[in-house]
Structure 1
Amino acid sequence: MKRALIVVEGQTEERFVKTVLRQVLEPIGVDIRPTIVATKVVKDGANFKGGLRSFGQFREHLRRVLQGSGGALVTSMIDYYALPADFPGMVSRPLGGTPRQRVEHVERELRIAIGQQNFLPFIALHEYEAWLFSDSVTIPGVLTEPHKQGAFAAIADAMAPEDINEGPATAPSKRLQAMFPLYRKGLHGPLAAERIGIPAMRAKCPHFDGWLLQLEHYATA
Protein backbone atom coordinates (compact mmCIF):
# COMPACT_ATOMS: atom_id res chain seq x y z
CA MET A 1 0.00 0.00 0.00
CA LYS A 2 1.45 3.36 -1.06
CA ARG A 3 0.79 6.46 1.00
CA ALA A 4 -0.43 9.76 -0.47
CA LEU A 5 -1.09 13.00 1.41
CA ILE A 6 -3.64 15.52 0.11
CA VAL A 7 -3.55 19.15 1.22
CA VAL A 8 -7.14 20.44 1.28
CA GLU A 9 -8.80 23.75 2.15
CA GLY A 10 -11.38 22.71 4.73
CA GLN A 11 -13.47 20.07 6.45
CA THR A 12 -15.79 19.50 3.47
CA GLU A 13 -12.88 18.58 1.22
CA GLU A 14 -11.41 16.46 4.01
CA ARG A 15 -14.67 14.54 4.28
CA PHE A 16 -14.81 14.12 0.49
CA VAL A 17 -11.35 12.55 0.51
CA LYS A 18 -12.22 10.23 3.41
CA THR A 19 -15.67 9.11 2.28
CA VAL A 20 -15.60 9.32 -1.53
CA LEU A 21 -12.07 9.45 -2.93
CA ARG A 22 -10.75 6.81 -0.56
CA GLN A 23 -13.31 4.30 -1.89
CA VAL A 24 -11.69 4.30 -5.33
CA LEU A 25 -8.03 4.66 -4.34
CA GLU A 26 -7.64 2.20 -1.48
CA PRO A 27 -8.69 -0.81 -3.61
CA ILE A 28 -5.83 -0.06 -6.04
CA GLY A 29 -3.27 0.30 -3.25
CA VAL A 30 -3.20 4.00 -2.35
CA ASP A 31 -3.60 4.95 1.32
CA ILE A 32 -4.84 8.52 0.98
CA ARG A 33 -4.72 10.92 3.91
CA PRO A 34 -6.08 14.49 3.87
CA THR A 35 -4.51 17.36 5.76
CA ILE A 36 -6.27 20.73 6.14
CA VAL A 37 -4.29 23.91 5.50
CA ALA A 38 -3.49 25.57 8.82
CA THR A 39 -4.56 29.22 8.97
CA LYS A 40 -2.66 29.87 12.18
CA VAL A 41 -0.02 27.76 13.88
CA VAL A 42 -0.13 27.87 17.68
CA LYS A 43 2.98 26.84 19.60
CA ASP A 44 1.07 25.36 22.53
CA GLY A 45 -2.36 24.08 21.56
CA ALA A 46 -4.39 23.19 18.50
CA ASN A 47 -3.78 24.98 15.21
CA PHE A 48 -6.54 26.92 13.46
CA LYS A 49 -7.49 25.21 10.21
CA GLY A 50 -9.49 25.92 7.07
CA GLY A 51 -9.49 28.62 4.41
CA LEU A 52 -6.80 29.71 1.98
CA ARG A 53 -5.75 33.35 2.24
CA SER A 54 -2.32 33.55 0.62
CA PHE A 55 0.34 31.56 -1.18
CA GLY A 56 2.67 32.03 1.77
CA GLN A 57 0.16 30.34 4.08
CA PHE A 58 -0.24 27.43 1.64
CA ARG A 59 3.51 27.11 1.06
CA GLU A 60 4.30 26.99 4.77
CA HIS A 61 1.73 24.27 5.41
CA LEU A 62 2.88 22.33 2.36
CA ARG A 63 6.51 22.62 3.50
CA ARG A 64 5.66 20.92 6.79
CA VAL A 65 3.69 18.19 5.03
CA LEU A 66 6.54 17.52 2.60
CA GLN A 67 9.06 17.37 5.43
CA GLY A 68 7.01 14.72 7.19
CA SER A 69 6.03 12.78 4.07
CA GLY A 70 8.93 10.35 4.10
CA GLY A 71 9.05 10.61 0.31
CA ALA A 72 5.38 9.69 -0.16
CA LEU A 73 3.37 11.51 -2.80
CA VAL A 74 1.98 14.86 -1.67
CA THR A 75 -0.78 16.43 -3.73
CA SER A 76 -3.28 19.26 -3.32
CA MET A 77 -7.01 19.71 -3.78
CA ILE A 78 -7.72 23.43 -3.67
CA ASP A 79 -10.19 25.64 -5.54
CA TYR A 80 -9.29 27.75 -8.56
CA TYR A 81 -12.22 30.02 -7.70
CA ALA A 82 -10.97 32.82 -5.42
CA LEU A 83 -7.43 31.40 -5.44
CA PRO A 84 -5.21 34.10 -3.88
CA ALA A 85 -3.70 36.35 -6.53
CA ASP A 86 -0.17 35.84 -5.20
CA PHE A 87 -0.11 32.16 -6.21
CA PRO A 88 2.56 31.35 -8.82
CA GLY A 89 1.25 31.70 -12.35
CA MET A 90 -1.85 33.73 -11.52
CA VAL A 91 -0.58 36.97 -13.05
CA SER A 92 0.85 35.22 -16.13
CA ARG A 93 -2.18 33.13 -17.08
CA PRO A 94 -2.70 32.93 -20.86
CA LEU A 95 -5.19 35.52 -22.04
CA GLY A 96 -8.03 34.03 -24.02
CA GLY A 97 -7.16 30.49 -22.99
CA THR A 98 -9.73 27.96 -21.84
CA PRO A 99 -10.34 27.54 -18.10
CA ARG A 100 -8.42 24.26 -18.20
CA GLN A 101 -5.45 25.87 -19.97
CA ARG A 102 -5.36 28.63 -17.37
CA VAL A 103 -5.56 26.33 -14.37
CA GLU A 104 -2.96 23.95 -15.78
CA HIS A 105 -0.64 26.93 -16.27
CA VAL A 106 -1.03 27.80 -12.58
CA GLU A 107 -0.43 24.17 -11.59
CA ARG A 108 2.81 24.05 -13.62
CA GLU A 109 4.06 27.28 -12.08
CA LEU A 110 3.11 26.05 -8.61
CA ARG A 111 5.09 22.85 -9.11
CA ILE A 112 8.12 24.85 -10.24
CA ALA A 113 7.83 27.18 -7.24
CA ILE A 114 7.67 24.29 -4.76
CA GLY A 115 10.45 22.37 -6.48
CA GLN A 116 9.81 18.94 -4.95
CA GLN A 117 9.63 15.82 -7.12
CA ASN A 118 7.03 14.17 -4.89
CA PHE A 119 4.61 17.12 -5.10
CA LEU A 120 1.69 16.82 -7.55
CA PRO A 121 -0.34 20.05 -7.66
CA PHE A 122 -4.05 19.84 -8.38
CA ILE A 123 -6.37 22.85 -8.48
CA ALA A 124 -10.06 22.11 -8.96
CA LEU A 125 -11.94 23.83 -11.79
CA HIS A 126 -13.43 26.03 -10.56
CA GLU A 127 -14.21 24.66 -7.14
CA TYR A 128 -15.35 21.53 -5.34
CA GLU A 129 -19.03 22.28 -6.01
CA ALA A 130 -18.51 22.04 -9.78
CA TRP A 131 -18.32 18.26 -9.47
CA LEU A 132 -21.83 18.24 -8.00
CA PHE A 133 -23.13 19.40 -11.40
CA SER A 134 -22.01 16.07 -12.92
CA ASP A 135 -25.52 14.76 -12.29
CA SER A 136 -28.74 16.73 -12.71
CA VAL A 137 -30.86 14.63 -10.34
CA THR A 138 -28.85 14.13 -7.15
CA ILE A 139 -28.60 17.67 -5.77
CA PRO A 140 -32.37 18.41 -5.95
CA GLY A 141 -32.94 15.04 -4.27
CA VAL A 142 -30.42 15.62 -1.49
CA LEU A 143 -31.95 19.04 -0.82
CA THR A 144 -35.45 17.46 -0.95
CA GLU A 145 -36.52 19.96 -3.60
CA PRO A 146 -37.26 17.70 -6.59
CA HIS A 147 -39.47 20.40 -8.13
CA LYS A 148 -36.28 22.34 -8.93
CA GLN A 149 -34.74 19.51 -10.93
CA GLY A 150 -35.66 21.10 -14.26
CA ALA A 151 -34.01 24.41 -13.40
CA PHE A 152 -30.93 22.66 -12.04
CA ALA A 153 -30.72 20.41 -15.11
CA ALA A 154 -30.84 23.48 -17.35
CA ILE A 155 -27.50 24.53 -15.83
CA ALA A 156 -25.98 21.07 -15.40
CA ASP A 157 -26.79 20.00 -18.96
CA ALA A 158 -25.90 23.29 -20.64
CA MET A 159 -22.15 23.05 -20.10
CA ALA A 160 -19.44 20.84 -18.65
CA PRO A 161 -19.20 21.28 -14.86
CA GLU A 162 -15.61 22.49 -15.10
CA ASP A 163 -16.68 25.20 -17.57
CA ILE A 164 -19.08 26.86 -15.12
CA ASN A 165 -17.30 30.15 -14.65
CA GLU A 166 -15.78 31.66 -11.54
CA GLY A 167 -17.74 34.91 -11.38
CA PRO A 168 -18.77 36.12 -7.92
CA ALA A 169 -22.43 35.42 -8.74
CA THR A 170 -22.03 32.54 -11.21
CA ALA A 171 -19.45 30.23 -9.62
CA PRO A 172 -20.81 26.72 -8.94
CA SER A 173 -21.22 27.33 -5.20
CA LYS A 174 -23.01 30.64 -5.81
CA ARG A 175 -25.42 29.01 -8.27
CA LEU A 176 -26.19 26.26 -5.76
CA GLN A 177 -26.80 28.74 -2.95
CA ALA A 178 -29.03 30.90 -5.14
CA MET A 179 -31.17 27.97 -6.27
CA PHE A 180 -31.11 26.06 -2.98
CA PRO A 181 -30.95 28.51 -0.05
CA LEU A 182 -30.78 25.58 2.39
CA TYR A 183 -27.62 24.20 0.77
CA ARG A 184 -24.80 23.77 3.28
CA LYS A 185 -21.45 22.81 1.82
CA GLY A 186 -20.26 20.74 4.77
CA LEU A 187 -23.52 18.81 5.07
CA HIS A 188 -24.91 18.41 1.55
CA GLY A 189 -21.69 18.55 -0.50
CA PRO A 190 -20.10 15.24 0.59
CA LEU A 191 -23.49 13.50 0.72
CA ALA A 192 -24.29 14.50 -2.86
CA ALA A 193 -20.78 13.63 -4.03
CA GLU A 194 -21.04 10.15 -2.57
CA ARG A 195 -24.38 9.56 -4.31
CA ILE A 196 -23.16 10.92 -7.66
CA GLY A 197 -20.03 8.79 -7.49
CA ILE A 198 -16.52 9.22 -8.84
CA PRO A 199 -17.22 7.55 -12.25
CA ALA A 200 -19.89 10.14 -13.13
CA MET A 201 -17.63 12.99 -12.00
CA ARG A 202 -14.73 11.68 -14.05
CA ALA A 203 -16.90 11.36 -17.14
CA LYS A 204 -18.00 15.01 -16.94
CA CYS A 205 -14.85 16.61 -15.48
CA PRO A 206 -11.71 15.88 -17.55
CA HIS A 207 -9.36 17.96 -15.38
CA PHE A 208 -10.47 16.04 -12.28
CA ASP A 209 -10.15 12.80 -14.24
CA GLY A 210 -6.60 13.69 -15.27
CA TRP A 211 -5.62 14.11 -11.62
CA LEU A 212 -7.07 10.73 -10.70
CA LEU A 213 -5.24 9.12 -13.62
CA GLN A 214 -1.98 10.40 -12.14
CA LEU A 215 -2.89 9.02 -8.72
CA GLU A 216 -3.69 5.67 -10.34
CA HIS A 217 -0.33 5.72 -12.11
CA TYR A 218 1.35 6.40 -8.75
CA ALA A 219 -0.27 3.23 -7.40
CA THR A 220 1.36 1.08 -10.07
CA ALA A 221 4.67 2.91 -10.58
Structure 2
Amino acid sequence: MVRLYLFAEGQTEQTFADILIQPQLALYDVFMHNPILIAHAKKKGQVHRGGGRNYLPMKNDIMRFLKQEKAPDVFFTTMIDLYAIHADFPGLAESESLRQDPIQRVEFLEKRFAEDIGDARLIPYLQLHEYEAYLFSDPTCFKYLDAGRTKEIEALRVIASQYQTPELINDGQQTAPSKRIIAQFPDYGKAKSIFGPLLAEQIGLHVIRNKCSHFDKWLSRLESLNEKGVSS
Protein backbone atom coordinates (compact mmCIF):
# COMPACT_ATOMS: atom_id res chain seq x y z
CA MET A 1 0.00 0.00 0.00
CA VAL A 2 1.16 3.52 -0.81
CA ARG A 3 0.05 6.70 0.93
CA LEU A 4 -1.20 9.88 -0.70
CA TYR A 5 -1.65 13.45 0.50
CA LEU A 6 -4.10 15.63 -1.45
CA PHE A 7 -3.98 19.42 -1.21
CA ALA A 8 -7.39 20.91 -1.99
CA GLU A 9 -8.07 24.51 -2.99
CA GLY A 10 -11.31 24.71 -1.02
CA GLN A 11 -13.82 22.86 1.09
CA THR A 12 -15.77 21.73 -1.99
CA GLU A 13 -12.77 19.84 -3.37
CA GLN A 14 -11.85 18.64 0.10
CA THR A 15 -15.26 17.03 0.65
CA PHE A 16 -15.46 15.69 -2.91
CA ALA A 17 -12.10 13.96 -2.49
CA ASP A 18 -13.12 12.57 0.87
CA ILE A 19 -16.48 11.20 -0.35
CA LEU A 20 -15.62 9.99 -3.86
CA ILE A 21 -11.88 9.80 -4.47
CA GLN A 22 -10.67 8.33 -1.18
CA PRO A 23 -12.80 5.14 -1.36
CA GLN A 24 -12.03 4.73 -5.07
CA LEU A 25 -8.28 4.79 -4.48
CA ALA A 26 -8.62 2.36 -1.59
CA LEU A 27 -9.69 -0.25 -4.16
CA TYR A 28 -6.17 0.04 -5.59
CA ASP A 29 -4.40 -0.06 -2.21
CA VAL A 30 -3.71 3.66 -2.33
CA PHE A 31 -4.43 5.12 1.09
CA MET A 32 -5.33 8.79 0.87
CA HIS A 33 -5.02 10.79 4.07
CA ASN A 34 -7.81 13.22 4.89
CA PRO A 35 -7.61 15.94 2.18
CA ILE A 36 -5.76 19.06 3.30
CA LEU A 37 -6.85 22.61 2.55
CA ILE A 38 -3.83 24.17 0.91
CA ALA A 39 -2.20 27.20 2.50
CA HIS A 40 -2.84 30.67 1.11
CA ALA A 41 -0.91 32.72 3.66
CA LYS A 42 1.28 32.54 6.74
CA LYS A 43 0.97 35.32 9.30
CA LYS A 44 2.70 35.53 12.67
CA GLY A 45 3.74 31.91 12.32
CA GLN A 46 0.20 30.68 11.69
CA VAL A 47 -0.73 29.02 8.40
CA HIS A 48 -4.04 30.13 6.87
CA ARG A 49 -5.66 27.57 4.62
CA GLY A 50 -8.17 27.39 1.78
CA GLY A 51 -8.23 29.29 -1.53
CA GLY A 52 -6.10 32.37 -1.81
CA ARG A 53 -4.29 34.05 -4.65
CA ASN A 54 -0.64 33.54 -3.73
CA TYR A 55 1.50 30.71 -5.07
CA LEU A 56 4.41 30.95 -2.63
CA PRO A 57 2.41 29.94 0.49
CA MET A 58 1.07 26.96 -1.47
CA LYS A 59 4.55 25.95 -2.54
CA ASN A 60 5.94 26.32 0.96
CA ASP A 61 3.08 24.22 2.34
CA ILE A 62 3.80 21.39 -0.08
CA MET A 63 7.54 21.60 0.53
CA ARG A 64 7.00 21.25 4.29
CA PHE A 65 5.08 18.02 3.79
CA LEU A 66 7.66 16.71 1.34
CA LYS A 67 10.38 17.23 3.93
CA GLN A 68 8.32 15.60 6.69
CA GLU A 69 7.39 12.57 4.59
CA LYS A 70 10.53 11.40 2.79
CA ALA A 71 9.54 7.79 2.10
CA PRO A 72 9.46 6.83 -1.60
CA ASP A 73 6.01 5.25 -1.21
CA VAL A 74 4.38 8.50 -0.09
CA PHE A 75 2.93 10.69 -2.85
CA PHE A 76 1.36 14.12 -3.07
CA THR A 77 -1.22 15.66 -5.39
CA THR A 78 -3.34 18.79 -5.75
CA MET A 79 -6.83 19.93 -6.73
CA ILE A 80 -6.44 23.57 -7.77
CA ASP A 81 -8.62 25.52 -10.22
CA LEU A 82 -7.23 26.75 -13.50
CA TYR A 83 -9.95 29.42 -13.32
CA ALA A 84 -8.58 32.56 -11.63
CA ILE A 85 -5.30 30.77 -11.02
CA HIS A 86 -2.71 32.51 -8.87
CA ALA A 87 -1.01 35.36 -10.73
CA ASP A 88 2.47 34.16 -9.74
CA PHE A 89 1.87 30.53 -10.71
CA PRO A 90 4.87 28.98 -12.56
CA GLY A 91 4.61 29.33 -16.33
CA LEU A 92 1.36 31.28 -16.28
CA ALA A 93 2.56 34.07 -18.58
CA GLU A 94 4.04 31.56 -21.04
CA SER A 95 0.82 29.56 -21.05
CA GLU A 96 -1.16 32.45 -22.54
CA SER A 97 0.00 31.34 -26.00
CA LEU A 98 -1.84 28.04 -25.38
CA ARG A 99 -5.14 29.57 -24.27
CA GLN A 100 -6.93 28.29 -27.39
CA ASP A 101 -6.13 24.72 -26.31
CA PRO A 102 -7.11 24.53 -22.63
CA ILE A 103 -6.05 20.91 -22.19
CA GLN A 104 -2.58 21.54 -23.59
CA ARG A 105 -2.36 24.69 -21.49
CA VAL A 106 -3.28 22.97 -18.24
CA GLU A 107 -0.85 20.13 -18.90
CA PHE A 108 1.89 22.70 -19.54
CA LEU A 109 1.13 24.42 -16.22
CA GLU A 110 1.10 21.12 -14.35
CA LYS A 111 4.52 20.33 -15.81
CA ARG A 112 5.90 23.70 -14.77
CA PHE A 113 4.38 23.25 -11.31
CA ALA A 114 6.12 19.87 -10.94
CA GLU A 115 9.43 21.34 -12.12
CA ASP A 116 9.18 24.20 -9.66
CA ILE A 117 8.57 21.85 -6.71
CA GLY A 118 11.31 19.49 -7.89
CA ASP A 119 10.15 16.26 -6.27
CA ALA A 120 8.95 13.39 -8.47
CA ARG A 121 6.51 12.28 -5.78
CA LEU A 122 4.31 15.31 -6.50
CA ILE A 123 1.58 14.66 -9.08
CA PRO A 124 0.09 18.09 -9.83
CA TYR A 125 -3.51 18.38 -10.95
CA LEU A 126 -5.21 21.57 -12.08
CA GLN A 127 -8.95 21.45 -12.63
CA LEU A 128 -10.26 22.51 -16.04
CA HIS A 129 -11.47 25.16 -15.37
CA GLU A 130 -12.90 24.61 -11.91
CA TYR A 131 -14.68 22.00 -9.80
CA GLU A 132 -18.17 22.87 -11.06
CA ALA A 133 -17.28 21.59 -14.55
CA TYR A 134 -17.79 18.07 -13.16
CA LEU A 135 -21.44 18.87 -12.44
CA PHE A 136 -22.09 19.48 -16.13
CA SER A 137 -21.35 15.79 -16.72
CA ASP A 138 -25.05 15.24 -15.95
CA PRO A 139 -27.03 18.40 -15.19
CA THR A 140 -30.05 16.33 -14.15
CA CYS A 141 -28.23 16.02 -10.83
CA PHE A 142 -29.72 19.41 -9.98
CA LYS A 143 -33.04 17.68 -9.40
CA TYR A 144 -31.49 16.99 -6.02
CA LEU A 145 -31.78 20.71 -5.26
CA ASP A 146 -35.20 21.26 -6.80
CA ALA A 147 -36.90 18.70 -9.04
CA GLY A 148 -39.38 21.33 -10.18
CA ARG A 149 -36.78 23.58 -11.78
CA THR A 150 -36.97 21.79 -15.13
CA LYS A 151 -36.29 24.92 -17.24
CA GLU A 152 -33.16 25.72 -15.26
CA ILE A 153 -31.93 22.14 -15.51
CA GLU A 154 -32.58 22.17 -19.25
CA ALA A 155 -30.61 25.41 -19.57
CA LEU A 156 -27.60 23.72 -17.97
CA ARG A 157 -28.05 20.68 -20.17
CA VAL A 158 -28.02 22.89 -23.29
CA ILE A 159 -24.77 24.51 -22.13
CA ALA A 160 -23.19 21.09 -21.57
CA SER A 161 -24.25 19.93 -25.04
CA GLN A 162 -22.27 22.76 -26.64
CA TYR A 163 -18.93 21.41 -25.46
CA GLN A 164 -17.05 18.24 -26.31
CA THR A 165 -16.34 17.89 -22.60
CA PRO A 166 -17.54 19.88 -19.56
CA GLU A 167 -13.87 20.64 -18.88
CA LEU A 168 -13.88 23.02 -21.86
CA ILE A 169 -16.60 25.26 -20.43
CA ASN A 170 -14.66 28.49 -20.37
CA ASP A 171 -13.16 30.64 -17.66
CA GLY A 172 -14.86 33.99 -18.20
CA GLN A 173 -15.93 35.95 -15.15
CA GLN A 174 -19.59 35.36 -15.97
CA THR A 175 -19.29 32.16 -18.02
CA ALA A 176 -17.16 29.92 -15.83
CA PRO A 177 -18.99 26.72 -14.79
CA SER A 178 -19.86 27.95 -11.30
CA LYS A 179 -21.16 31.27 -12.64
CA ARG A 180 -23.44 29.49 -15.09
CA ILE A 181 -24.79 27.23 -12.35
CA ILE A 182 -25.42 30.11 -9.94
CA ALA A 183 -27.26 31.99 -12.70
CA GLN A 184 -29.81 29.17 -12.74
CA PHE A 185 -29.58 28.03 -9.12
CA PRO A 186 -28.60 31.03 -6.93
CA ASP A 187 -28.79 28.90 -3.78
CA TYR A 188 -25.84 26.86 -5.01
CA GLY A 189 -23.56 29.84 -4.53
CA LYS A 190 -24.59 30.13 -0.89
CA ALA A 191 -23.51 26.59 -0.01
CA LYS A 192 -21.10 25.38 -2.72
CA SER A 193 -19.03 23.28 -0.33
CA ILE A 194 -22.13 21.34 0.72
CA PHE A 195 -24.05 21.06 -2.55
CA GLY A 196 -21.06 20.53 -4.86
CA PRO A 197 -19.93 17.14 -3.48
CA LEU A 198 -23.50 15.92 -2.96
CA LEU A 199 -24.39 16.68 -6.58
CA ALA A 200 -21.24 14.92 -7.79
CA GLU A 201 -22.24 11.90 -5.71
CA GLN A 202 -25.63 11.94 -7.46
CA ILE A 203 -23.86 11.85 -10.84
CA GLY A 204 -21.37 9.15 -9.89
CA LEU A 205 -17.62 9.04 -10.32
CA HIS A 206 -17.80 6.77 -13.38
CA VAL A 207 -19.94 9.28 -15.30
CA ILE A 208 -17.66 12.19 -14.39
CA ARG A 209 -14.62 10.22 -15.50
CA ASN A 210 -16.28 9.33 -18.79
CA LYS A 211 -17.09 12.97 -19.54
CA CYS A 212 -13.95 14.64 -18.14
CA SER A 213 -10.83 13.14 -19.69
CA HIS A 214 -8.28 15.33 -17.90
CA PHE A 215 -9.79 14.38 -14.55
CA ASP A 216 -9.91 10.72 -15.56
CA LYS A 217 -6.25 10.73 -16.63
CA TRP A 218 -5.22 12.14 -13.26
CA LEU A 219 -7.32 9.69 -11.27
CA SER A 220 -6.05 6.77 -13.35
CA ARG A 221 -2.49 7.81 -12.55
CA LEU A 222 -3.28 7.86 -8.83
CA GLU A 223 -4.86 4.42 -9.10
CA SER A 224 -1.67 3.07 -10.66
CA LEU A 225 0.72 4.32 -7.98
CA ASN A 226 1.15 0.87 -6.47
CA GLU A 227 2.02 -0.64 -9.83
CA LYS A 228 4.03 2.04 -11.61
CA GLY A 229 4.96 4.66 -9.06
CA VAL A 230 5.75 8.09 -10.41
CA SER A 231 6.55 6.79 -13.89
CA SER A 232 2.87 6.33 -14.75
- Which of 129, 132, 152 is the aligned partner of 1:129? 132
What amino acid is aligned across from residue 166 of structure 2 in structure 1?
Answer: P
- Which of 182, 185, 191 is the aligned partner of 2:192? 185
Measure, in 2, the Cα distance between the counterparts of 1:12 and 1:3.
22
Shift of 1:208: 0.4
Q: Which moved more, 1:145-154 or 1:201-210?
A: 145-154
Shift of 1:131: 0.5
| Change beyond 3 A, Cα 1:194–1:219 | farther
1:156 aligns with 2:160: yes
Measure, in 2, the Cα distance between the counterparts of 1:65 and 1:10.
18
Structure 1 stretches of 5 or more lacking a match?
none
Structure 2 match to 1:88: 90
What amino acid is aligned across from residue 132 of structure 2 in structure 1?
Answer: E
Measure, in 2, the Cα distance between the counterparts of 1:182 and 1:220.
43
Shift of 1:43: 6.3
Measure, in 2, the Cα distance between the counterparts of 1:201 and 1:170.
20
What amino acid is aligned across from residue 79 of structure 2 in structure 1?
Answer: M
TM-score by structure 2 length?
0.89
Aligned pairs (5 A) from 1:110-121: 110-121=113-124
- Which of 102, 107, 111 is the aligned partner of 1:104? 107
Q: Which has the higher helix share?
A: 2
- Residues 24-52 of structure 1, C-alpha deviations (whole Å, 9 max, x = no match): 111111111211112344667x7432113
Measure, in 1, the Cα distance between the counterparts of 2:128 and 2:92.
14
Structure 2 match to 1:59: 59
- Residues 128-176 of structure 1, C-alpha deviations (whole Å, 9 max, x = no match): 110111012102x122143222112111222121010000000001111
Secondary structure in 2 aligned to 1:137?
A: helix
* Contact 2:40–2:55, Cα closer than 8 Å, also in 1: no
Measure, in 2, the Cα distance between the counterparts of 1:31 and 1:95.
35
Aligned pairs (5 A) from 1:1-221: 1-33=1-33, 34-41=35-42, 47-71=47-71, 72-93=74-95, 94-95=97-98, 97-139=100-142, 141-144=143-146, 145-147=148-150, 148-159=152-163, 160-183=165-188, 184-221=191-228
Secondary structure in 2 aligned to 1:74?
A: strand
CA RMSD of aligned residues (A): 1.6
Shift of 1:19: 0.6
- The number of aligned residues is 219
Percent identity of equivalent pairs: 39
Secondary structure in 2 aligned to 1:78?
A: strand
Secondary structure in 2 aligned to 1:77?
A: strand
* Contact 1:142–1:188, Cα closer than 8 Å, also in 2: no
Structure 2 stretches of 5 or more lacking a match?
none
Measure, in 2, the Cα distance between the counterparts of 1:119 and 1:211.
12
